[in-house]
Structure 1
Amino acid sequence: MKRREFIHAAALGSLALSIPQVRAFGSTWSNNFELPKRVLGRTGERVSSIAFGGIMLNDHSPEFAKEIVSKAIELGVTYFDVAPSYGNAEAKLGPALKPYRKNCFLACKTHERGSEGAEKTLNQSLTYLETDYFDLFQLHAITTRDDVEKAFAPGGAMEVIEKAKRDGKIRYVGFSAHSVEAALLAMEKYDFDTAMFPLNFACWNAGDFGPQIYEKALSRNMGVIALKAMALTANKPGQEKYDKNVWYQPVTDEETMKLALKFTLSKEIATAIPPGKSTLFLKAIEFMKDYKPITPLESEQLMALAAQTPPLFANK
């Protein structure tokens, strides 16, 4: 099987990449290929248009982590994302990224809403990732108004985050959200540097999920970090997971996958984080070889698909 054919098959099935296949990926491309960079909002930082989603390292070997991080660096990836809730991904990413740390933008998160838990996870993450600071630290997966209220209440996670920023452990502050209501409330309470949320063709067109957060973030010159660009829909009851680190069903047709990513990247976003499977991460990078903004005809194709697809998220 040819190299390109293997990546194609692996992306659409359950195959896992081996270390030799990771090393060989992109070896036939132009020597000067490098992912394009975009500005992360008001931070002024230039980051890779495709980000490395650290969750893909969960339960992989340290050797595999080292190889795919090295390959990502080789191809121009500078934005690395991880969180304590991603299994053992932090412990795998830290040693693999250490040789390149000074030239990377490292983003981490806390799912804790109280100060005690947030401080514990922050310090554990710094240790696992073998760094003394994060370029970006985020409130993770705020979903309800209660999530936001607890984080901003006395003794909440934001007290720890603000102190860590003063102490030099954090450069920029952001949030990730899976709720329009929670995201907008968070932005009312704090002048965040970044917003991370699902920016997906089906959610946007069929679920009215995304435009509100996107427009508010841009109006405040926040950096926009896109999740779920290559997602399709939620798992059906009893349906097997696509991958242990991907809890939803991604697009599996390669051309539609490419259009879905183009839809997201055609917005004013800084970077997109592919699903948590190494094959899909590499496939997203491959798509960037000939990336052009989405055309009206391509948008119509996606809108037709969105019309018959239950979105992963909807604004309720």
Structure 2
Amino acid sequence: MMMKRRNFIKTTAEAVPLLSLFPADLAGMIRETPPGQIEKRSLGKTGEKLSMLGFGGIVVMDATPKEASSRVSEAIDHGINYFDVAPSYGDAEIKLGPALEPYRKDVFLACKTTERSRDGARKELEQSLKRLKTDHFDLYQLHAVTTPDDVKQIFAPGGAMETFLAARNEGKVRFLGFSAHSVEAANALMDQHNFDTVLFPVNYTTWYGGNFGPQVLERAHDKQMGILALKAMAKSPYPEGTTSKVPKCWYQPLTDPEEALMGLRFTLSHPVTAALPPGNEKLFKMALELSSRIKPLSDEEIKMMKEKGKAGTPIFQYPMA
């Protein structure tokens, strides 16, 4: 039955990757908008409600302590309560820990590890807890899982999953999730374990131009997982030979406010709890300023975004090249 279901999802998505798989109807999601603040949405079955924009730790990478505190404070003032960071983001953990400390009890803090072994994941978990000045993470995630070999290592004897389960039993993490950069890896992870959340690219160009996304969102939605989104404000890969790139962005981002708004609206028209804007502090600030205008796309706008996405160059595609 599971194999037939997987084949059905794959065949359907390959044939017609339509937004109609997830119409701009968020009736199944609890949504609240406190006065003067950003909308909050329910996170799968966890009982948590997160701001529909999250704060990626890269925003404070290489910042001074004063700059880090200012950026975190501004996000809090807008109603941001979802913060996500990882050891691979340079000194982001070191900068975010003190800046977030005054607000820790009121926010949902997510962290990640690229370690695939039990011992490596344990070492990184303990280091991250110390750097972030907390005794637990609300969400701990396997980071940037891409290949079937990654998944095999994670679930093998002595693999990272042993640390994840132990840490949850110890109260050092509340929920377990993963981020993935391929449909293949995301599906394999969902086959192996009932994770609480998935963090995955949801972008109009990868969706329509790369056939990348519908397969994962449908399965995660069916499993009542919390869906968190990356790359809502991505435009395309940098053209070959580009020498001037936006800091902290390995892809070409949407820098025009109206285009960025449409990118965010596309992503958040799906049953996505929250989108993480780019780690570039100027683009993050722009997303904050646009937040009050984020609303589901109309049918006409969906058609327009489909044509725009099909004409673009995606940064991810399915199947993997």
Normalised to the residue count of structure 2, the TM-score between the two structures is 0.87
| Residues 21-74 of structure 1: CA deviation (Å, up to 9, x unaligned) | xxxxxxxxxx94101100010101011010001111111111100001011111
Letter of the 1:64 partner, please give it: E
Is 1:221 equivalent to 2:224 in the alignment?
yes
Q: CA deviation at 1:102?
A: 0.2
| Residues 135-178 of structure 1: CA deviation (Å, up to 9, x unaligned) | 00000000000011101100100101110000000000000000
d(CA) in 1 for partners of 2:293, 2:256: 18
Aligned pairs, how many? Answer: 286
Q: Name the residue aligned to 1:39.
A: 42
Q: Where do 1:3-82 residues align within 5 Å?
A: 32-82=35-85
Is 1:272 equivalent to 2:275 in the alignment?
yes
Q: Name the residue aligned to 2:257.
A: 254
Q: 81, 101, 104: which one pairs with 1:101?
A: 104
Contact preservation (8 Å) 1:241, 1:247: no
Q: CA deviation at 1:241?
A: 5.7
Q: Where do 1:1-316 residues align within 5 Å?
A: 32-240=35-243, 242-316=245-319
d(CA) in 2 for partners of 1:255, 1:127: 40
Contact preservation (8 Å) 1:57, 1:93: yes
- Secondary structure in 2 aligned to 1:135? strand
Contact preservation (8 Å) 1:235, 1:241: no
| Residue ranges of structure 2 left out of the alignment (5+ in a row) | 1-33
d(CA) in 1 for partners of 2:256, 2:293: 18
Contact preservation (8 Å) 1:37, 1:46: yes
Q: CA deviation at 1:285?
A: 1.9
- Secondary structure in 2 aligned to 1:42? coil
d(CA) in 2 for partners of 1:299, 1:33: 28
| Residues 176-222 of structure 1: CA deviation (Å, up to 9, x unaligned) | 00000110000000010000000000011111100011000010100
| Residues 5-28 of structure 1: CA deviation (Å, up to 9, x unaligned) | xxxxxxxxxxxxxxxxxxxxxxxx
**Two-structure CA RMSD over aligned residues (Å):** 1.2
| Residues 274-311 of structure 1: CA deviation (Å, up to 9, x unaligned) | 01111211221222213321112222222222222110
Q: CA deviation at 1:243?
A: 2.9
Letter of the 1:177 partner, please give it: A
d(CA) in 1 for partners of 2:273, 2:94: 26
d(CA) in 2 for partners of 1:272, 1:189: 25
d(CA) in 2 for partners of 1:238, 1:127: 41
Letter of the 1:283 partner, please give it: M
Letter of the 2:48 partner, please give it: E
The runs of at least 4 aligned residues of structure 1 exceeding 6 Å deviation read none
d(CA) in 1 for partners of 2:37, 2:175: 25
Letter of the 1:166 partner, please give it: N
Normalised to the residue count of structure 1, the TM-score between the two structures is 0.88
d(CA) in 1 for partners of 2:180, 2:148: 11
